[in-house]
Structure 1
Amino acid sequence: MTGLAPGAAGDERPWARLVDRRSVNRGDRRRAALLGALDDLLREQTLEQVNVAEISARAGVSRSAFYFYFESKATAVLALMAQLYDDASEATDRLVKAEGDPRQRIRGVIETLFDSVDRTPHTYRALLQARAAHPAVGELWDAGRAEFAALVAEMSVRERIGARAPDDDAAPDASALAAVLLDLNDHALERYALGAGPPRERHIDTLVHLWVAGIYGSPA
Structure 2
Amino acid sequence: MTSADAASRRRRREAPRKGDLREQAILDAAEEQLGTQTLDRMTVESIARGAGITRNALYFYFASKQDVLTALVRRTVEQVANDAASTAADTGTEPAERIVRAVHNTERHWIQHGVVMRAAVELGAVIPEIGAMWTETVERYITVTTEVMLSGGLSAEGPGSAEDVARALCWMTERNFYYASAGEGGEDALRHTSDVCIGIWLRMLP
Q: CA deviation at 1:201?
A: 4.2
Q: Report if the CA contact (8 A) 1:91-1:108 is conserved.
A: no
1:47 aligned partner: 39
* TM-score of the two chains, using structure 2 as the length reference: 0.72
Compare the two structures and name the one with the higher helix fraction: 2
Unmatched 5+ stretches in structure 1: 1-24
Q: Does 1:172 align with 2:160?
A: yes
Q: How many Å separate the matches in 2 of 1:30 and 1:200?
A: 32
Q: How many residues align?
A: 185
Q: How many Å separate the matches in 2 of 1:168 and 1:108?
A: 23
Q: How many Å separate the matches in 1 of 2:140 and 2:117?
A: 20
2:200 aligned partner: 210
Q: How many Å separate the matches in 1 of 2:184 and 2:49?
A: 35
Q: Return closer, same or farther for 1:56/1:176 CA change in 2, 3 Å cut-off.
A: same
Q: CA deviation at 1:87?
A: 4.7
Q: How many Å separate the matches in 2 of 1:127 and 1:91?
A: 18
2:10 aligned partner: none
Structure 2 counterpart of 1:123, which letter? V
Identity of aligned residues (%): 18
Q: How many Å separate the matches in 2 of 1:140 and 1:67?
A: 18
Q: CA deviation at 1:88?
A: 5.4
Q: Spell out, residue by residue over 1:5-46, the C-alpha distance to the aligned partner (whole angstroms, 9 max, x if none).
A: xxxxxxxxxxxxxxxxxxxx9541221121122123223212
The farther-off stretch of 45-54 and 57-66 is 57-66
Q: Does 1:114 align with 2:72?
A: no
Q: CA deviation at 1:118?
A: 1.6
* 3-state secondary structure, aligned to 2:160: coil
Structure 2 counterpart of 1:172, which letter? G
Q: How many Å separate the matches in 2 of 1:187 and 1:169?
A: 26
Structure 2 counterpart of 1:124, which letter? M
* 3-state secondary structure, aligned to 1:210: helix
Q: How many Å separate the matches in 1 of 2:111 and 2:191?
A: 13
Higher relative contact order (CA 8 A, sep 6+): 1
1:74 equivalent among 51, 69, 72 = 69
Q: How many Å separate the matches in 2 of 1:50 and 1:173?
A: 44
Q: Return closer, same or farther for 1:175/1:168 CA change in 2, 3 Å cut-off.
A: closer
Structure 2 counterpart of 1:46, which letter? T
Q: CA deviation at 1:130?
A: 2.1
Q: Does 1:64 align with 2:59?
A: yes
Structure 2 counterpart of 1:79, which letter? R
Q: How many Å separate the matches in 2 of 1:184 and 1:155?
A: 17
Question: Pairwise CA RMSD of aligned residues?
Answer: 3.2
Unmatched 5+ stretches in structure 2: 1-14
Q: CA deviation at 1:171?
A: 6.1
Q: How many Å separate the matches in 2 of 1:172 and 1:96?
A: 25
Q: How many Å separate the matches in 1 of 2:195 and 2:34?
A: 30
Matches within 5 A, 1:91-106: 93-94=86-87, 97-106=90-99
